[in-house]
């Protein structure tokens, strides 16, 4: 499987490393990112090409485009990939909280016979939600608790954020609004929405908590299947406290699974 990679941050580097180590049975053909020096470094390390423009990116043969950059990159590259008949894996799932964009690329993927793969990211339970949705799924609630350093609220000074003594709810509302206000923190909200009730009906609470060192996600769901509660305590990635280490592992696991003959779960 020939891969084209977008992004050279922590997740992009982790995916490139997994290809090099053989965890992902594919070949990294080309990588692109805004940071020219970083993308050059990764290209040298992994023996692949690099480009700095969208047009050049499509000159390389690829079976799958892997986005590991930003919601903006998803909106820039995904429609082009689908129009070319190329499958994609999207890490910045928050882009799908934009209903018009989600509907557009879903329709385009159907027309072109392509697949858009969305990893579970820093959360679990998506297979449970997808199964429960086949019956009557009535309620899905996500409570995210993170260190204040990774959840600076608009209007707060850095000093206020650093000196926070008690947990503070910085957001409570729909998944759609949560992804809009905290796009780099709650891709899990978008993932839960897509698996379950949608971005308008999925409820989200985000808490800045000076007493925690891990990113904690609690998912609660109820329906005619019964109910479940799942708590995941993630360590942040070494290079980016806004991203859980598990997010990169989920992307690697999905890419590895695409190459396997036996596939477990939904």
DSSP string spanning 195-259?
HTT-TTT-EEEEEE-TT-SSEEEEEEEEETTEEEEEEEEEPBPSS-TTSBHHHHHHHHHHHHHHT
Give me the percent of the chain exceeding a pLDDT of 70.
94
Q: Does position 155 have pLDDT exceeding 80, yes or no?
A: no
Q: Active-site residues: which are they?
A: 217
Task: Say if pTM beats, i.e. exceeds, 0.85.
Answer: yes
Closest by Cα among 212, 210, 211, 191 to 202: 191
Tokens, residue 90? 């999207």
The radius of gyration of the chain from alpha carbons, rounded to an integer in Å, stands at 19
Residue 241 banded pLDDT, cuts 50, 70, 90? low
Please state which of the four CATH numbers 3.20.20.10, 3.30.230.10, 2.40.50.140, 3.30.360.10 is assigned to the domain occupying 126-243: 3.30.360.10
Pairwise CA distance, residues 64 & 19, whole Å: 13
pLDDT at 262: 74
Q: Does position 162 have pLDDT exceeding 90, yes or no?
A: no
Task: Give per-residue pLDDT as tens, 175-218.
Answer: 989 988 887 777 889 999 999 999 999 999 999 999 998 889 99
2-121+247-258 classified as CATH 3.40.50.720: yes
Q: Map out the domains of the chain as residue ranges.
A: 2-121+247-258, 126-243
């Amino acid at each position: 499987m020939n891969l084209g990679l977008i992004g050279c941050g922590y997740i992009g580097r982790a995916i490139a490393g997994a290809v090099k180590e053989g965890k992902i049975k594919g070949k990294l053909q080309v990588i692109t990112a805004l940071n020219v020096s970083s993308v050059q470094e990764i290209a040298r390390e992994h023996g692949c090409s690099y480009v700095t423009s969208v047009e050049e990116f499509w000159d390389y043969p690829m079976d799958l485009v892997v986005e590991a950059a930003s919601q903006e990159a998803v909106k820039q590259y995904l429609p082009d990939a689908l129009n070319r008949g190329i499958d994609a894996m999207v890490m910045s799932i928050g882009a799908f909280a934009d209903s018009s964009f989600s509907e557009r690329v879903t329709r385009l993927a159907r027309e072109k016979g392509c697949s858009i793969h969305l990893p579970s990211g820093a959360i679990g339970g998506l297979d449970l939600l997808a199964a429960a949705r086949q019956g009557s799924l009535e309620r899905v609630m996500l409570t995210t608790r993170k260190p204040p350093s990774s959840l600076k609220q608009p209007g707060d000074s850095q000093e206020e954020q650093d000196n926070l003594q008690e947990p503070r709810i910085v957001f409570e509302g729909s998944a759609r609004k949560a992804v809009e206000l905290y796009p780099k923190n709650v891709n899990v909200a978008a993932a839960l929405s897509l698996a379950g009730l949608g971005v308008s009906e999925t409820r989200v609470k985000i808490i800045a908590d000076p007493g925690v060192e891990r990113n904690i996600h609690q998912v609660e769901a109820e329906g005619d299947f019964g109910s479940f509660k799942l708590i995941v305590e993630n360590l942040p990635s070494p290079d980016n406290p806004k991203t859980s280490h598990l997010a990169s592992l989920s992307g690697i696991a999905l890419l590895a699974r695409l190459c396997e003959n036996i596939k477990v779960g939904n």
